[in-house]
Amino acid sequence: MSAKMVRLLGVGKQYSNCRYVLRNISFDLHKGEFAYVTGVSGAGKTTLLKLLFGMEKASEGQIYVNNRDLGSLNKNRLFQYRREVGFVFQDFKLLPDLTVFDNVSLPLEIRNMSPKEIDYRVKGVLSLVGLSDRADDYPPVLSGGEQQRIAIARSIVGKPSLLLADEPTGNLDSTNAREVMALFQEIREMGTTVLIATHDEALMQMFPTRTIELQHGEMMADKGAAK
Amino acid sequence: MKKHRGLKRTFTDFRRHPWLHFISIFTITIALTILGFFLIAFRNFEQVAEQTSPKVTGTVYLQNGLSESQVRLLRERILALENVIRVSFKSKRTVMEELSEFVGGAQPDSIAAAELFPDVLELEIRKDTSSAGLIVLKSIVSKYPEISEVDFSEDWLAQYHRVRSVLRIFGIILMVGLLVGCSFIIANFMGMRHQSRRNEIEIVQLVGAEKTFILAPFLWEGFIEGLVGSTFALLVLYLLKMVISFFIHSGWATLLGARGWLYLSPVQGGLVLGVGIAMAFLGSITVFMRFQQES
């Protein structure tokens, strides 16, 4: 069995109004594993991803990513952690005033890489997502599917060990959604652990893999987990 | 390397949002032009006050029967006193002639009480002598035995100084108020502008940028806009100064003196430049810090 990339032990999240959005969540994800987190809206999928990305702190339990305890991660060290984890947002979070190339190169710019290295890596991921010819365009002129692929390109350009995606196909038509899912499979094949939050049953059937099911913030099932 | 990237991102942003930066610079220019115009007005008011300030004089009435050498020695002693610029002698004859001219040309000998006038020494005193300084001078001079009476214009001079210092204090208070107001406008405008870029900051944070990476372009923007805005303000003020000089030169020539309508002094110019840069700079930092606390 490969090493653990993600480990959640009795994780809970409670907001100030005392309502639990997540309660007693425990599971492991191995390096290079591909999994879905599923459940209806409000089940706690997005909160779970936010906890894994360090955007929120767990109220209970422990979260380890690559043997790093996220509970002990202070604000000043968060930026380093985020460089190791990619996140694909449902609303893409692209900067409309930057070109596709500049949006994708942002994670490399902040690492202070040389322009040559940035050029090489950005062209590489743009080729992977099939948008090499749109490098000089601006996000608003791209279709939803293209924007999502740019967001994916940005999230993997820094070669993260873990990729989180929150409803990555939520704003896409079925053709684009299939293409994006195929892209995630490719990324997983390159060795990246991928965890996708989705409630799209059809897609999950098309690309079957391990599925963690949430309901009212509690883990109801973990189908297809490695024993 | 990092610094250059911050600067590069700043210039990229200037190209991306030319109107936003134009409005920022325009706001800074307007605020500082108002401040600078007041500083110019204050400086010129001071000059006019200086130009029109009264000559401080004193009249010293001498005892009768003093010899020329006694008068000369007395003049030298008085001239050596602090704040005295010039001492001139007027004989009783000169005084009578002046009086005769004043009353309509009557012959000095025909004035009945002509012999009652004493010889006098007229003292010219430094303009900036304080009222206390005048009182001290008067008390020293009046103790000399060769002198019978001393008459200084200290009372109304004290009044004049009092009015002038009240006006000066009022001007300084107004200037400080204006300075605070301008700083507030600039810092708040920079704040509002950066609020509009929250989305950008958030995204850059999410991809793992550290504080310095996020802050660098904001600081450069603040510095550049402050510098350009205050430089424009100085240019506008110079043009205003030229226009004002052109229109009021002949009418106010006497009041303004040989130097005419003045521009900002180097210190005032530095203040305008400094306020522009510092406020735009601080505005950037404050907003960034506020955003950091919220996120």
Return the pLDDT at B1. 46
Task: List per-block mean pLDDT (blocks of 10 residues) for chain A, which spans 227 residues.
Answer: 85 84 93 93 92 92 93 84 91 90 92 91 90 94 91 91 90 81 88 92 89 93 76
Domains and their CATH numbers in chain B: 2-51+158-294 (no CATH), 57-152 (3.30.70.3040)
Nearest residue on chain A to B214, alpha-carbon basis:
A110
Interface test mutation site (partner A, options B9, B204, B206, max chain A beta carbons within 10 A): B206
Q: Give dist(CA B20, CA B202) in Å, integer.
A: 20
What is the arrangement of strands in the sheet containing A218-223, beginning at the earlier edge strand? A68-69, A60-65, A4-14, A20-30, A218-223, A210-215, A34-38, A193-198, A162-166, A85-88
Return the pLDDT at A1. 47
- Which residues in chain B come in under a pLDDT of 70? 1-5, 53-54, 103-116, 154, 156, 193-196, 249-259, 291-295
Return the pLDDT at A31. 92
> How high is the ipTM of this complex?
0.85
Interface test mutation site (partner B, options A50, A52, A110, A150, max chain B beta carbons within 10 A): A110
Return the pLDDT at B177. 86
* B203: contact with A, CB 8 A cutoff: yes
Alpha-carbon distance values, A107 to A86, A153, B205, B208 (Å): 10, 10, 10, 7
Return the pLDDT at B19. 85
Tell whether pTM > 0.90.
no
Q: How far B5 CA lies from chain A's nearest CA (Å)? A: 9
Return the pLDDT at B195. 66
Return the pLDDT at A44. 92
Q: What is the pLDDT of residues B123-162, one digit of tens each?
A: 888 877 777 888 888 888 888 988 888 887 767 677 777 8
Q: Give dist(CA A61, CA B69) in Å, integer.
A: 108
Domains and their CATH numbers in chain A: 33-55+84-223 (3.40.50.300)
Return the pLDDT at B250. 61
Half-sphere exposure of B286 (CA within 13 A, CB side): 16
Return the pLDDT at A134. 94
Q: Give dist(CA B33, CA B26) in Å, integer.
A: 10
Return the pLDDT at B124. 86
Query: Token pair of A54, please?
Result: 């360090």
A35 phi and psi, to 5 degrees? -145, 155
